[in-house]
Amino acid sequence: MRMTKIHPITYILYYAILIIFAFLFTNPYYSLTFAICILTLIRIQGIQKEFKGTIKGFIMMGVVIAIINPLTSHQGVTRLYIWNNYFITLESIVYGLILAFALILILLTFTSFNKAVSYQDLLYIFSKKFPTASIIIIMALRFIPFLNYRLEEINKLQDFEKENSDKKGFINKINNVSNSLIVMISWTLEESMITAKSMKARGYKTTKRTSYLIYKINRIDKIFISFIIITAILAILGLIYGDGRINIYPTIRFSFNHFPLDIYYFSFLFLLLPLIYLEIKEEMIWH
């Protein structure tokens, strides 16, 4: 349980801005700042474990994109011949790298978003507009683990019966799998009739549904939202003045010596910090 309650709308707004910015700000200094901050946030949120599993996949995907882009796109002026007159351009290599990096950043942001906003929070937002769809999602959330458990039991029984019979072989294996599914589906369909009756008996579809979930827009939400809007606007102004983004095509115009220590950079940096700050504050209560 968290002590700081932030409205899911605030979270959604914040993470949406982050995801857009991960695409827009291609300056390596900006991207690196973004990466450091989001990794810190993930670390504080305590999801490194799940994260370790997924990050490998993200990096693989990034590598694939970085390789494919120069092979398919020949924009740019700096030609690098590799074989006879087949060439790739330096610009498209760099562009591929930047694109891959941005994608990884977005996926990281999503990982963090998943932790910050539970599915129930999302449903709350969702259920106001789409009450029927949201109840279907809730039902699925109960049903899928339930079916999984049931299929396990059925498979256990099938294995047991298989051991006792002398039929072996590939065809029989397929038969067994299809049989398991038949048992599960007919059993479950039969029982879901009762679920449907139980829903009807408890007044489902009599009037427009409401929700038991309650979220208030608190002072902290107002401060949070004003803060991110101000910093985001400043950072975008910077973008308009050519700060935070590098031009790649037709030629790369970027110098590592130019570190952008200006108000635009700092507003970008501040935009990344509020959640880290709140998480640390939360941690401090317990230490």
Partner 1 sequence: MALVKFENFSFTTSDKEILSDINFEVDEGEFVLICGPSGSGKTTLLSHLKKELRPNGKINGKVLFDSINIKDLDDTKSATDIGFLFQNPDNQLVTDTVIQEIAFPLENIGMETEEIRNRIAEMTAFFGLDKLLYKNVNELSGGEKQLVNLCSLLVLKPKLLLLDEPTSQLDPIASYEFLTILRRLNEEFSITIMINEHNVNNILPFADKVIFLNNGSVEYFNTKKNIIQEVANDEVFKFYLPDVSKINLLLREKYPKLKDEKIAISIREGRKLLNKIADDLEVFPKDTNKTLSEDYLYYNNEELVKTSGLYFAYNKENIILKDIEFTIKQGEFIGIVGGNGSGKTTLIQLLAGLLKPVKGKIMRKDIKIAYLYQNPMIHFSKETVEKELLLDNETELNNETRKLLKFFNIEHLIYQNPYDCSGGEQQKIAIIKAFMKKPDILILDEPSKGLDPLSKHDLAKKLQTLQSNDLTIVMTSHDLSFVANYFHRCIMLFDGGIQVDNDPKDIFAENNFYTTFVNRLVKDYIPNGVVLDDVKEKWNL
Residue 63 or 182 having the CB closest to partner 1? 182
**What's the Cα-to-Cα distance from 175 to each of 148, 179, 212, rounded to whole Å?**
20, 6, 46
The amino acid present at 228, given as its one-letter code, is I
Would you say 4 or 198 has its CB closer to partner 1? 198
Closest separation in Å from C-beta 44 to partner 1? 23
Q: Considering the complex, what minimum distance in angstroms separates the CB of residue 170 from partner 1?
A: 17
CB of 268 within 8 A of CB of 30? yes
Per CB under 8 A, residues contacting partner 1 are 135, 138-139, 141-142, 145-146, 149, 153-154, 156-157, 159-160, 163-164, 179, 182-183, 186-187, 190-192, 194-195, 197-214
Report long-range pairs for 225-233 (Cβ below 8 Å, ≥24 apart): 225/10, 225/13, 227/270, 227/274, 228/13, 228/14, 228/17, 228/271, 228/274, 230/267, 231/267, 231/268, 231/270, 231/271, 232/17, 232/21, 232/267, 232/271
Query: What are the tokens at 60?
Result: 């693989």
Nearer to partner 1, 71 or 157 (CB): 157
Please say which residue, 201 or 261, places its beta carbon nearer to partner 1. 201
Q: How far apart are CA 117 and CA 86, in angstroms?
A: 49
Instruction: Decide if 39 contacts 272 (C-beta within 8 A).
Output: no
Residues in the chain: 287
Closest approach of partner 1 to the CB of residue 278, in Å: 22
Considering the complex, what minimum distance in angstroms separates the CB of residue 147 from partner 1? 11
Closest CB to partner 1 among residues 109, 127: 127
**72 or 198: CB nearest partner 1:** 198
Q: What is the DSSP string of 237-286?
A: HHHHTT-S--B-SSS-B--TT----SHHHHHHHHHHSHHHHHHHHHHHHH
In the complex with partner 1, the residue whose CB is nearer, 161 or 262, is 161
- 185, two tokens: 């589906």
Cβ proximity of 279 and 2 under 8 Å: no
Minimum separation from the CB atom of position 49 to partner 1 (A) = 17
CB of 228 to partner 1, least distance (A): 27
Q: How far is the CB of 43 from partner 1 (least distance, A)?
A: 26
CB of 172 to partner 1, least distance (A): 11
Burial class (CB in 10 A: 0-12, 13-18, 19+), 171: exposed
Structure tokens at 50: 């799940």
Nearer to partner 1, 72 or 175 (CB): 175
